[in-house]
Amino acid sequence: MITRAIANFFQIASLLLLLLAVALMSAVVTMHFAIHGAEVQVPALKDMTVADALSETAGLGLYLDVDNRYYSGEVAAGHILSQSPAPGTVVRRQWHVRVSESLGPQKVDVPDTVGADERVAALELRRAGLEIGEIARLPYSDAAEGTVLAQDPPAHAQGIEQPSVNLLVAAQDDQSPGGYVMPDFVDRPLAGAKAALAALGIHAGPPGFVDVPVAPVGSGFAPLRPLVRPGDVLAQTPAPGSHIDQTTIVHFTVVR
């Protein structure tokens, strides 16, 4: 009797272990399909129209964000110039795919706004079909408050990327004679930052260049970050708001 009871116990225990193993295997398989069923590959969107790209990404459960618009002599207006993440990248559904749109070849002439009042400069730029980019303000005693001291890109520039012009504008001078407050040039093109400083007689040292990799794929609900472009300022010394003068050498860290 005892032997049979022991045998029955082991039979029942073996059956329970088998059922547990089957349940675990089922859970693993279910989780595998749940995870991979929620993943898709990012399609190749370059050269598509924005409307076609919207349709393509929506069909995969992805969102399309047009982050920037650039002039291009190679890609027709209204078509996709670049994208992030790259084609073939595996992401979760509801991921945001960021793209830049082509405006076609540059056809506008960049007006000269240096010396003009900020409001007049804004009107001139809009009449030319351009947008106001970033406006940096610098305490400056040699010009009336609101006067444009420098612009990027410069007047009549050809081959510009974006339909926008950044301005450096004189602010009320609240520093000691010959001194200025360091503007914030982060995320602005290096060429424009150097031009703005040069207009005030301030020199920039040789820039340091760094590679900026694309962020790894994570949650589809991760916050969006602006696309970095080669030539954009990542960091600066002295920091924005610091007191500088003509003896200061400004150093920039720039995207390669």
Q: How far, in whole angstroms, is CA 185 from its chain's centroid?
A: 15
Mean pLDDT of 213-219: 45
What DSSP state is assigned to residue 199?
T
Tokens 């150093």 locate to 251
Element (H, E) at 36: helix 2-37
> Per residue in 71-118, pLDDT tens?
998 899 999 999 999 999 999 999 999 999 999 999 999 999 999 999
Residue 66 domain-assigned (yes or no)? yes
Overall pTM > 0.85 = no
The β-bridge partners of 250 are 204
Residue 95 domain-assigned (yes or no)? yes
> Per residue in 231-247, pLDDT tens?
889 999 998 878 888 88
Query: Same domain for 208 and 98?
Result: no
Q: Read off the CATH number of the domain in which 79 is found.
A: 3.30.10.20
| Phi, psi torsion values for 63, nearest 5 degrees | -105, 145
Query: Same domain for 50 and 172?
Result: no
> Per residue in 4-50, pLDDT tens?
666 666 677 676 677 777 667 765 555 554 445 589 999 999 999 99
Cβ-based neighbours of 215, under 8 Å, separated by 6 or more: 225
Which structural domain, as residue segments, surrounds residue 162? Answer: 118-255
The β-bridge partners of 171 are 139
Residue 1 domain-assigned (yes or no)? no
Residue 19 domain-assigned (yes or no)? no
Note the helical H segments in 167-212: 190-198
* Cα–Cα nearest to 254, from 213, 225, 211: 211
Residue 237 domain-assigned (yes or no)? yes
Query: Same domain for 137 and 232?
Result: yes
Name the domain count of the chain.
2
- Domain endpoint, select from 77, 102, 127: 102
Query: Same domain for 88 and 187?
Result: no
Q: How many CB atoms lie within 10 A of CB 213?
A: 6
The β-bridge partners of 243 are 181
Query: Same domain for 188 and 246?
Result: yes
* Token pair in block for residue 198: 């040069």
